[in-house]
Each structure stands twice: as C-alpha cells, then as structure tokens.
A and B are shown apart, each in its own frame.
Chain A
Amino acid sequence: MKNASKHIGLILLISLLGVLYIANAHKAERKLRMINKLQMGVDDAKSSYQKVKSDNTYKSTESQLAKKLKNEGLKINSQSPIVINPDS
C-alpha cells in the first residue's frame, strides 16, 4: 500500500501516455484515410482536366474551327500570304 502511493505519479503518467498514444494512432489513421480520399479526388479531377483539355485541343485545330465558323462567314484564307519587305 505504501509502495502504491509512492508510485501513483508514475502510474498516472503511464496511463496518460497510453491514452495519448491511442488518440494519436486514431488521428493518424484518420489522416491517412483522408489522404486516400483526397488522392482519389485528385485523380478524378486530373482525369476530368485531361478530358476537357483533350476535347479543347481538338476543337481548336484549324480545320475544326473552320468547320464551326463556316456559317459565320469566316473561312480559311485561300490566298498565299503577302510578303511586306521594308527594305525595298
């Protein structure tokens, strides 16, 4: 009995550390799951980005633009470019 009261401080400290250890482990695990979830979100966002970008690249090719703008009265210039030479 005398011994127990002598070590009560140490016992309390150890139990406190134990509680902290468990809490920390849970927290870490939660973080890991969060990372995993976010990573999936990043992957999804990345693939949507690539999809949009790839659609956009195709739509911005000269021929596709020409097709789209046909009804607006715009077309690919059929004349060859004129060279402006400032020296002559």
Chain B
Amino acid sequence: MDRKTELLLRVYVVFFLFVLAAVIIIGQVIKISVVEGEKWRNQGGKNIKWVELAGERGNIYDCRGNLLSTTIPHFDVFVDLMTPTDKLFDNHIDLLSRDLSQHFGQTSTEWKNKLVRKRDQGKRNANSGAQFFPLFKGISKDKLDLLLTFPIFNQGRYKGGLRYERINSREKPYKELCSRTIGLDRENASKVGLERTYDMLLKGDVEKKLVRRFPGDVWLPLYEPEQINRKIGAEIVTTLDMRIQDIAHQELLHTLTEGKAAGGTAIVMDVKTGAVRSIVNLGQNKNGTYSENWNYGIASASEPGSTFKLMSALVMLEDGKVDLDTEFNLNGGRKKFYDRVMRDSEMHGIGIATFQEIFERSSNVGMGLAAYKNYGKKSDWVKFYEGLEKLGITHKTGIEIFGEPKPFIKNPKLIDSERDRWSGLTVPWMAHGYELKMTPLQILNVYNTIANDGVMMKPYLTQEIMKDGKSVSRIKPQILNKQMVSPSTVLKARKLLKGVAERGTARKLKIDNVSFAGKTGTTVINYWKGNETKEYNASFAGYFPEGNPEYSVIVVVYNPKGEYYGAQVAGKVFSKIVERLSGMSNKLVSEDSSEDIAIGSHTGYNQDYDQILDYIGMDYEKRTSSKWIKINDNQDALVMEKKKISKKKVPDLKGMGLRDATYVIESLGMVAEVEGIGQVYKQSVNPGSVIKDQKIRIYLN
C-alpha cells in the first residue's frame, strides 16, 4: 500500500464518521419534533405559560387629596360542605352557626339547618352543589379574615372546606357624595361620570408575561421574576372639594326631604377658575328616599324661568336698549300679548317701575314688555338671538362629563326648522325664561362670568393627571370668552343681582356678616296641561361674597310639593350653603394683614421662654439667668441674653407680649394704655427716660 491510498482511506473514514454524526443529529431532530413532538410540547407548556396581567385601575382624588374612588378587593365565599369529616362537622356545627349568626345576621338555628340540610343532600347526591355552597357575595377583607377564624373554617381549605374568590371592585369612600359625577365603573352597563371620561387612562395597561411554574403551584414571571407588580393606571385629581360637597349635599337633601321634591341639584363653582367644587344630584326613589341617580346638574336641560332674566337683561343692557332706570308699565302684574296672558307671581297692582325694580321683584310682565318693546318686531328677532349668541350661551360648556346637551335656544335664522320657529310670543316669553332649555351648569356659568368681571371660564372637574405618583399633566383653567359683555354692563348686572338680595325677591335670605348676590327662579313646568295642579321648579343662582366673589352657586329643586317659590325653596339651600361655606376660608371674610415678627426680636420672661422653646424642641443657648431676657437670632441657634430693666428708667418694651409688657409697666408704677394685639413695636415714652409717675401707651401689631 502506498502512502497515497493510505491517506485517502483515512480521509474516507473521517468523512464517513462526519456523515454518520450528521445523520444521527438530523434523525434525532425529526424524532423529537415530529415523532415525539406532541409529548414534549405538552411537557413544556405545563411549566411555562403566557398570562395577561391586567393593570390596577387608578384612583380618583378630590382637590385636597382625599380618595374619591379606589379599587378594593371583595370576596365571594363558598364552602365545600363535603370536605369536613363527620367528626369535625358534627362537633363544631353549633359553634360555627352561633358565630355566623353573631357576625353576619340570621339566627344560629337558621344557619345550622341550612348547612346541615345541604350537607345531607350532598351525601345523597353528588350533584347537589354541596361542594360549592355559596356563603357570601362581595364581603370585605376584614369580614373574610373573621370568617377564617370560625370553627371548622379555621382548619384550612383542605380540611375545613372554605374557599373564596377575590373580586376587585370599585369603591367610593364618600359613598353617596358626588357619586354620579365621580361615576360608575361597571361591567354590564355603560360607565358614567369621570370613570367613563377617563376610562382609558384609569385602567392600567394589560401586560403579557411569560410565567414559569415553581413547585407548590406558584407561578412567577420567567424573566425578571422579582418584578411582579402590575402596571397601575393613571390617577385623576379632581377639582372637587368634599367638604363643600358634604355641606351642599346635606343642605339640599334636607330641603328635598322636607318638600318631597322629585329631585334637585346644587353646583358650587370657583369664580376665578371655573373649577367645579361640588355637584350634588339627588333624585327621589320610589320609597321616598333620595340618591344620586342622574346627573341633573350637567345633563338635564329644562326651562330656566326667572334665572334667565339675567341673560335677557344682559342682552338689552349690552345693546343699549335699556338702562337701570328705564321705566315700563307693569299694568298691575298682568298683561296680554296677542292671545296669551302673562302674569307676575302675584297681582301687585304696581304701574310704572324702573328696569332695576322689575329685575329685583322678578316681574315677568316687566321683563317680557322690555324685550317685546325692543325686539318684538319680526325683523328684530334675529338681534335678540344674536345678543344671546354673543353671551356664549348657545354652546355647551364643555365639561368633562358625557351627556351634556347643547342649550336649546331657538334660532330664528333657521326658517325651515319647525323646532326653531319663532312666533310673536317668543321674545316676551324667552325674556323670562320660557321657550328655551338650559342645564343648571350652563345657567350657573353665566352668573359665574358676571361674578368674574365678564371673563367666561370653562367649568372643569379635573385638575391633574398623575402616573406612578408623578404629575403627568396639570390642567389649567381655560377662558371661553375673555369679555362676555362690556365692563359697564357687568357692573350694571352686578348691581341688579345685588339689588335682588338686598331689596328684591331674595331679601329674606340675608345672612349676617356675609353678602351675596343672585337671582331667584320659579318655573311652571306643566303650563301646557291646562287647569291641573301646577308643578314648579324652584331655582336660585348667585355668587358670594358680593364685593369680591369667590364661589358661584346654583340650586335647583325639581317639583317640590308645598312651598315652591325659588327664594323659599332653592334660595334657602343657597343661603345655607353660603353661610356654612363662609366659615371655611378667611378669603371669604376680610383679611388681616399684620406681619409676623421674627422670633429673633422677642423679649420677655425667662421661664416662659424656657418652657416654650423646650416644648417645641428648638435649640437655644442660654447666656443669662436673669429674670428678663432678650432673644437674639445668632446664625445657627437662638441666644438668650440678659434684658436689663432698671427701676428708675423707662424700659425698652419692644418685642414683648402684652402680658409681660403690662407686668413690667405696672411693677414700675406706671399705667399702661394698650393699642392693638401681638407684640409691642412702639411705645409713647422713649426708653431710657426717667420714670415720673406717668402713663405709657404701647402699640402692638
């Protein structure tokens, strides 16, 4: 054999081995993936799977950081009555029944009968449902914890048979308060309120994660196993203030219950920003109680009645058609326009009255006549409409809640539209708030604009959106109309509204120390029904404090029985709200402008200062043990130094409190005259001068 053939042979052998290896590998691949494929794939799927982790829904807060809506787990509890042994069950069923009746109602005999009967059924028939006997639905965590301590149930799931299922549900800590506006997040019906508006933001992202099974049936993410927290949805901070909401809710509820009204709404708005601070919506249930069952304030448009007289007055004043002292003949309180008679709320017998008087006593005839004289001609109808259009009240306010209707104000320019057709009666009737529909919020926004010097703000409910505890977007107040009417018209309108509160229909609502302005409204709601008992809506819209308005408020009470005048029913709620709110903030009363004195300039009795500084835990350096001291602010610590008080000379009283100062003065035989409160900043006799039995006047700031 020569070298060449030997070499070739070796190459062939090596080559053959390579090919063999390749064939074996390919064979195995085919075997694993095709022949045994099913088996291995099943095996793999058993320990690893994809799961969808739904994010936790974000919370909703009020403007003070109080929780308005949050997700709280509830539990549906079942018991497998076949799990406990006869011995366990028979020995403890009495105790269990007793505990159940004690904490969850029903008598212990009822509980015992129920459980024993079901268990017996289960013994006879495997399909009786005894393995899955529902005990409670939607109980809270603490109730569940309590259940787990009861006899039998405390034996654990495999001996005692108690099982539960966790269900996340939305809960409103404030219960009924503002619930319609905060909204509902429900599965089987459409969502409402803010829960609906911000649904996409609130609900967290759904995350797909690969999880692996660990012994003991625990599933954990395969990658980044330490990260199991879910993506939490955004959080919404609203402009609502639950303290105001609580007050408005209770006051409205009280009046509704008293008058057995069909429902009512009360909205409180921040004048300068348009932030809605509270919105109460109460409707009567079949059993006579009230609950937040519909967003009346935002979604219910109705004929506003006399509260609309402000809008008519604004149009006429702005067009220069009337002034506050323009006179009209009220004709005693009754006037016929074409074939229909317009009446004031009573036959007052007044003849000539000024526009201001007409507004203050809310005369329908006067307002109808004023409008009719200026816009009654067919050719002038459009001008009246355009006047209203200029006020911006033909549009929605654009609040964040779904379902705000567009105000219904007939447009004479749409000649073909049956709905918008004007007649000769339209102008005088519109002027006192009929033949048109607006929501309470839309009406309130006009009053708010007058309170805000003619700047129309957009009412809003959300001030901030947060994600993971950080602010993502802050919502600024928006201006809808920089100047709704001229400044002089604003002033006149404020005069009119102030007059209503001082002399007019709301004069009986006066409150000590707080001034407000507003307009009453009493709307007949079933006037087309002929002579049946009349039904009314009572309303009141206004703002306070009158001079420098902070809040605007509207109250509407739907169909109260008994008293029905706007001032008596809605006005009472309004003035109660104003009265109770005025105690909440010093902005609503005049401010005290005195400045604080820096602690560095205090002078006084040694022991007192020791006690105070020790109590508040401030560091200080004591350089003297004399009776009177002076405190100096020495860079990083307070230093107490001796304060010299001579018996013959007038001391420097600067920085002393009233008690110390009078003590010093009187112990020196002088008489103190005091002015102001706080600390002494000035004295009438110069320090250092010789004491001659005299008076000293000290000024405190």
**A associates with B:** yes
Residues of A at the B interface (CB closer than 8 Å) are: 29, 32-33, 35-36, 39, 43-44, 47-48, 50-51, 53-55, 57-58, 61-63, 76-77, 79-83, 85-87
On whether A83 and B70 interact (CB within 8 A), knowing A44-B141, A61-B174, A76-B580, the answer reads: no
User: Complex Cα distance A63/B306, Å?
Assistant: 32
8 nearest CB pairs, A to B: A54-B173, A81-B583, A83-B589, A57-B173, A63-B250, A61-B246, A80-B579, A47-B73
Known A-B contacts A57-B66, A85-B590; A77 and B72 likewise in contact (beta carbons under 8 Å): no
B119 proximity list for chain A (CB < 8 A): none
Is B44 in the interface zone, CB < 8 Å from A? no
Q: Return the chain A residue nearest B512 by Cβ.
A: A80
A36 touches B589 (CB 8 A): no
Closest chain A residue to B580, Cβ basis: A76
Q: Looking across the interface, which residue of chain A has its beta carbon closest to that of B594?
A: A86
Task: Decide: B70 and A50 in contact? CB cutoff 8 A.
Answer: yes
Q: Choose from B67, B511, B512, B593 the contact partner of A53 (Cβ within 8 Å).
A: B67
Known pairs A50-B72, A54-B72, A63-B250; A32 contacts B214 (CB<8 A): yes
Residue B171 interfacial (CB < 8 Å)? yes
Residue from the list B66, B142, B242, B512 in contact with A48, Cβ < 8 A: B142
Interface residues of B in 488-528 (CB under 8 A from A): 511-514
**Residue numbers in B under 8 Å from A83 (CB-CB):** 513, 589-590
Contact between chains at B583 and A80 (CB < 8 Å): yes
Is B339 engaged at the interface, CB distance under 8 Å to the other chain?
no
Q: For B592, list chain A residues within 8 Å (CB).
A: 85-87
How many A-B pairs have beta carbons closer than 8 Å: the answer is: 86
Residues of A within 8 A of B594 (CB): 86
Chain B residues in the interface with A (C-beta under 8 A): 66-67, 70, 72-73, 140-142, 171, 173-175, 177, 214-216, 218, 220, 225-226, 228-229, 242-243, 246-247, 249-250, 511-514, 579-580, 582-583, 589-590, 592-594, 676-677
Given contacts A50-B72, A86-B677, 15 further A-B contacts (CB under 8 A): A33-B214, A35-B228, A39-B228, A44-B141, A54-B67, A55-B173, A61-B177, A61-B242, A63-B247, A76-B580, A77-B583, A80-B511, A80-B513, A81-B583, A87-B593
Distance A40 CA – B686 CA, assembled complex (angstroms): 74
Instruction: State how many angstroms separate the Cβ of B207 from the closest Cβ of chain A.
Output: 16
- Distance between Cα atoms of A61 and B248 in the complex (Å): 12
Q: CB-CB < 8 A to B514: which residues of A?
A: 80
Alpha-carbon distance A25/B590, docked complex (angstroms): 71
Docked pose: A40 CA to B339 CA in angstroms: 76
Instruction: Evaluate contact between B174 and A57: CB separation under 8 angstroms.
Output: yes
Report the bound CA distance from A76 to B67 in whole Å.
24
Name the residue among B73, B229, B514, B594 with the largest chain A CB count within 10 angstroms: B73
In whole Å, how far is A86's beta carbon from the nearest beta carbon of chain B? 6
Beta-carbon contact of B67 and A57 below 8 Å: yes
Q: A78–B50 Cα gap in the complex (Å)?
A: 62
Query: What A residues does B677 contact at CB under 8 A?
Result: 86
Contacts of A50 in B (CB 8 A): 67, 70, 72
